[in-house]
Structure formats: structure tokens, C-alpha cells
Amino acid sequence: MKKIILLVCVSFFMLESCSSNEDTPIVVPSATTAEAVLDGNSIKITWQAVTGAGITYNIYRNDDTVKINSTPLTEAKFTDVLTTTGAFTYTVTVNLSGQESPKGIASEKVVLEVPKTRTFEVYKYDASNVMTTEYKSFSTFTYDPIIINKLISVSGNYLIAGGAASTESNKDIYTYTGNLIMKLESFNNAGVVQSSTVYLYNDKNKMISLENTQNNNNIYKIVFDYNVDGTVLGTHYSGISGALEPRGNSSVYTVLNGNLIKEESFVVNVGNPIQKSTIEYSFDTKKNPFANVLGFSNYTLWWANQNNEISSISNNNTSSTIYSSRNEITYNLNGSVLINKFYRKNGTNPEELYSINTYTY
């Protein structure tokens, strides 16, 4: 009897040993490269899905050690709704049976920067070509605390040079419907509306008209028609409420890659030849300071430019003079405009520095 008990104990021990030797460690698949794309005030992150049962993922922003997803992700995608502006990269890890892989390869840097302040200075020259400041303004941009690229207002202070200097201030207030800017109202320092601009859009969210009403009830309006060749026709009207009439001028605009590259304007006066002027623009590949502001990409023409103008050439059929301009731009480490110096040249006259825009983000 004692011998039988001994054999049973030995057999049990041997079974345990065999079972332990056959266990294999869980191998967690490696994480892949993350891809990140800016979408309004959010960044959409995607990566190559890992096959296998029970696989989940975590997402890390920049070099943070704390994941940004509140629960493990079962799909190879995630949307990071930003609460602050800046530059962001993302990495992915793979989870399996309570174990987490090392971080995968980080995404390329994604930047969401919008102007916080802007200083604008305009210069003039006397007969001796001495340059002085003619006009200077300082603007502060205020955004929605939740939708951080939704512009609420722009407050400005202005110094008018020449003679007795005086200071003025105003405030522009933006009204949105969804992601579209529907109205822009400008107030003076007494809180009185000086002008109001109403914008209309088609079913593709392209602007089809803007109508600006001054506080003296004068109205200026442009109606935009989108041609099959990709150009945009702008027809200009003016007058008072209920009595708008064509101004006799129109424009044809050519847009490429989100930038206005050519503007042809025609003025028709009865009994006179049609006056035509043409401006051609070239651009860099970096983002315009307002490219990330909600609704600006739905504007038409100059306001919607996605990149920065670096030069222009203009002429008209009533003069042999060619006008040109160029911008000398300084960028920050994220590729956003810090300083934009605007130079212009009239025919064979010397080039002049006309204005400087300085931004903070």
C-alpha cells in the first residue's frame, strides 16, 4: 500500500513537469507605422491592421508615456480631437493577452497652428525716397474654446500716421453655420456696426456670393459662377438695398491646388473699349496662416489660398507699365509664417517695401 501511494505522487509530479515544459510565451505582433492626417480640429490616425484573435491597439501622442485612448482599440483607426494647437506625432502599440508591444514607427509631424496675433505695418516714401510708417495695426484673434480653430472674433487697434496721429479700434465678429462662415460684422470702438458681409454657398459648400452692406446702406456684391473648365466667374453689383445693379465689370478667376493663380478683370464702359487687367500669382508649398482656420477654405479666391503668395505680375491693356510684387517670408520650425515682407515695383521704378505682416501662434 505504501508503494502504491508513492507511485501516484511521482506520476503527478511528472505530469506537472511535462505540462510546464510545453507552455510557450505569448508573442505580441510588432506595431506598424502610424499615418496621421489633419481634419479640421482633429487628427485622424490610421495604421495597418494586425491579424489574429484578441488583438487591440493603443495610441500615444508625441513622446508621452500615457496612451490617449481611454479603452483598447479594436480597429486600426483613431481620431484625436485636439484641445490645443501645436505639432503632433503618433505611435501605435499592439496588445495581446495583457501584453503590449513596443511602440511602432511614429507618424510624420502634423501641425495645427492658427494666428493668435498679427501686426500689420504699411510704409510710404517721400520725394527723397525716405521711408516712414503710414499705418500700423495690431490684431488679436479669439477662437472657440471647444472647436479650437473656429474663429469667433478679431480685435484690432490702429495707429494712423501722418499729421496728428490718432488711435482707432474695431472688432470683427464671425457667425458660423456648421463649418461655414455665414456672416462677418465689423464694429467700431463704440460698438456700432460699420459693415456687414453675408456669404452664401452651394450644395458643395463653395461660396456663390458675398454681399457687403455699409452703415450708409451702400451695398457691394459679387456673385460667383463655377465654370466647367475650372475657372470662376465673378460678377460685380452695387447700389442700395433692393436696387442693386451691375457695375459693368466682371472677373474670371483661375484656381489651382487651392490657390488663386490668375485673375482677369474686365471693365465695360459704354462708348469705350473694354478695359482688361490680368494678375498672375505664384505660391510656395507651406500653409497660409489662415489655412487651418475653420471655414476659410470654403471662401472663394484670395481668402481661401492654402499656400503663401511669393510673387505676382500684373498689367492692363490701357498701359504698357508692368506691376510686380514679391513676398519675403520667414517661417517658424513648424513651417508657419512668422514674418511676411511685401515688396512692390511699378514699371522701371525701384522696388519698395510696402508692408510687413508679423504673426504669432
Residues 74-102 have pLDDT tens digits of 999 999 999 999 999 999 999 999 999 99
What pLDDT, on the 0 to 100 scale, is given for residue 243?
87
Greater model confidence, 293 or 27: 293
Picking from 17-26, 58-67, 87-96, 144-153, which range would have the lowest pLDDT averaged per residue? Answer: 17-26
The CATH number of the domain covering residues in 35-111: 2.60.40.10
Picking from 50-59, 158-167, 194-203, which range would have the lowest pLDDT averaged per residue? Answer: 158-167
What pLDDT, on the 0 to 100 scale, is given for residue 79?
98
- pLDDT interval class at 262 (50, 70, 90): very high
Greater model confidence, 26 or 210: 210
Region of 283 please: left (phi>0), alpha (psi -120 to 50) or beta.
beta
pTM of the model: 0.85
- pLDDT interval class at 166 (50, 70, 90): low
- Phi/psi at 296 (5° precision): -70, -30
Pairing of strands 207-214, 193-201: antiparallel
What pLDDT, on the 0 to 100 scale, is given for residue 270?
67
Is residue 15 over pLDDT 50?
no
Is residue 19 over pLDDT 70?
no
What pLDDT, on the 0 to 100 scale, is given for residue 23?
62
- pLDDT interval class at 338 (50, 70, 90): very high
The CATH number of the domain covering residues in 114-360: 2.40.160.190
What pLDDT, on the 0 to 100 scale, is given for residue 5?
36
Residues 6+ apart with CB under 8 A from 201: 180, 207, 208, 298
Average pLDDT over residues 43-59: 96
Greater model confidence, 7 or 275: 275
Average pLDDT over residues 104-108: 97
Average pLDDT over residues 167-180: 93
What pLDDT, on the 0 to 100 scale, is given for residue 164?
52
What pLDDT, on the 0 to 100 scale, is given for residue 14?
33
C-alpha 45/C-alpha 76 separation (Å) is 8
What pLDDT, on the 0 to 100 scale, is given for residue 165?
55
What pLDDT, on the 0 to 100 scale, is given for residue 4?
41
CATH 2.60.40.10 domain residues, the chain: 35-111
What pLDDT, on the 0 to 100 scale, is given for residue 27?
83
CB atoms under 10 Å from CB of 336, counted, come to 22
CB atoms under 10 Å from CB of 222, counted, come to 19
C-alpha 135/C-alpha 163 separation (Å) is 12
CATH 2.40.160.190 domain residues, the chain: 114-360
Residues 6+ apart with CB under 8 A from 20: none
- Average model confidence (pLDDT) across the chain: 90
Is residue 302 over pLDDT 50?
yes
Burial state string for 41-59 with b = 16 or more CB within 10 A and e = fewer than 16: bebebbbeebeeeebbbbb
C-alpha 16/C-alpha 149 separation (Å) is 63
What pLDDT, on the 0 to 100 scale, is given for residue 231?
94
Among 333, 332, 352, residue whose Cα is nearest residue 342 = 352
What pLDDT, on the 0 to 100 scale, is given for residue 43?
98
C-alpha 233/C-alpha 224 separation (Å) is 6
What pLDDT, on the 0 to 100 scale, is given for residue 294?
97
